[in-house]
A = this chain, B = another copy of it.
Amino acid sequence: MDDLTAQVREFAEERDWQQFHTPKNLVMALAGEVGELVAEFQWLTPEQANAVMGDPEAEARVRAEVGDIMIYLTRLADVLGIDLREAAVTKLAEVAIRYPVDEVRGSATKR
């Protein structure tokens, strides 16, 4: 992960894009990219969505969108001083307590 953070940071610095990479702007960029991924899936039936990686053109678009999202998420985390992996692991531990295995099995109800 650190390696990717460094690559994305270098990419931005070489282009003098730090001025654009404020937290607010990066959050918007992340939302914009997620919107593109959502658009990729919006008209697919569940079955078509499950099989999306079997269609080479759709697969390429989905990979590119997921890559874009990961790039901006990595950059945002870097700018905010957040370790992405640690943030995920910490949150997963909290969610595990809120959703005990034996109480929520098979249920998607929010708590």
Mark A residues whose CB is within 8 Å of B: 1, 4, 7-8, 11, 14-17, 19-20, 22-25, 27-46, 49-50, 52-53, 62-64, 66-71, 73-74, 76-77, 80-82, 84-85, 87-92, 94-96, 99, 101, 104-106, 108
Q: Give Cα A100 to B20, complex, Å.
A: 17
| 24 A–B contacts, CB within 8 A, in A order | A4-B85, A7-B89, A15-B99, A15-B104, A15-B105, A15-B106, A17-B106, A22-B49, A22-B50, A23-B52, A24-B24, A25-B42, A27-B28, A28-B42, A31-B35, A31-B38, A32-B35, A32-B36, A35-B36, A67-B91, A70-B73, A70-B85, A71-B88, A74-B88
Q: Give Cα A67 to B77, complex, Å.
A: 10
- Decide: B43 and A70 in contact? CB cutoff 8 A: no
Q: Give Cα A46 to B31, complex, Å.
A: 17
Give the chain B neighbours of A42 by CB distance below 8 A.
25, 28-29, 32
- Decide: B37 and A34 in contact? CB cutoff 8 A: no
Instruction: Contacts A80-B52, A91-B64 given; indicate if A30 touches B22 (C-beta within 8 A).
Output: no
